[in-house]
Amino acid sequence: MTTDPTAAVPAPKKSDKKKTIIGGIVTLLVLILVFGILLPQFGDYGQAWTAIQGMSAFALGILVVMTIVNIVVYVWPYQAAIPGLKYRPAFVVRQTSFMISNVVPMGGAFGLAVQYSMLGFYSVGAAEATAGIGITSIWNTFVTLSLPIFASLGLVVIGQGQGAAFAIAAVGLVVIGFAVWIFAAILRSEDTARKVGQWGENIVDWAYGLFKKEPTFDVVAEVVHFRESTVGVISNDWLKITATSYLQQFMQFLILWAAIFAIQGGSNAPVTFLEAFAAFAFGRLTTFIPLPPGGLGTADAAMTAILVGFGAANNDALAAVMVWRALTYFPQVIIGIGTFLYYRAKQAKAA
């Protein structure tokens, strides 16, 4: 079953519009706080820009190439999660979704609606679309949560990590290991999925009971439905989904590292590769904060602060993060606007 190719994204309800307006105001305040007050505490924008201008033509060329590769590989996890989806439609859907989710305050819901509509236009069934979007989101979450663990382990192994790094790695490994075990149990069989769902339902009932309310959803049914819609794809392509998901985020890190490497004078830079990776990994955790979209500002402040903590000069750290943000955010936003206009034109032609 496929959705109507000409179906438009449902108009948001008035309550949704109110939430969007409030979200927009909060986002604006957060951006003013971060870019206007917090980041200037770490360095001067003028001096950071001077450091950027001092980058060699070769370094700029490397950054441009990495940016292009980052845009190319961004689509691959989507294709891995939706077998049979060709690159061009996957690129159009993925870039458009990125633009909406990372520009519109609380744009995640709008991005999901647009993805479903666009996938229907490209003859992807509702079940396949639901599975693909769900798998991509879950794998992105697992990867984002695992990166700080790898970073902490790396620092411990080379002797740069202190007790805190070891503790983070140990606790993180236990948490991720438990999450993977639960996930594997859900996929193993419908019976185990129901058992896991029942555990989840007991926890949800207890949590709602604290506020003297009852949940409006059936946890067991949701878990079983998730298993039914995803088990086939995950069983066949879990390795491809995992590899492409890690590659996507690693390419974003390489852009940050290339900027640090160029701005701080090559191999003599005070911040090492693993330290830069740790700054990226822990900074990425701020993307779980719903405001502002895409961790805009919050991730930048976290990465800058961690880089300074590792010994980077304040203005150099700020400059490197500015380059990273510019190359991982604005190109895809601009491309996303273009892919959305392209999709609308194709949609109108098919009507």
The secondary structure of 220-274 as a DSSP string is HHHHHHHHHHHHHHHHHHHHHHHHHHHHHHHHHHHHHHHHHHHHTTGGG-SS-HH
pLDDT of 83 > 80? The answer is yes
List pLDDT tens digits, range 27-56.
Answer: 555 555 555 655 555 555 666 667 677 778
Q: What share of the chain in percent tops pLDDT 70?
A: 77
pLDDT of 1 > 50? The answer is no
List pLDDT tens digits, range 84-115.
Answer: 999 999 999 999 999 888 777 655 667 788 88
CA distance 175 to 127: 30
Taking residues 68-91, what's their average pLDDT? 95
pLDDT for the residue numbered 36: 60
Taking Cα atoms as reference points, which of 327, 284, 339 lies closest to residue 67? 327
List pLDDT tens digits, range 190-248.
Answer: 898 888 888 988 888 888 888 878 877 788 888 888 888 788 888 889 999 999 999 99
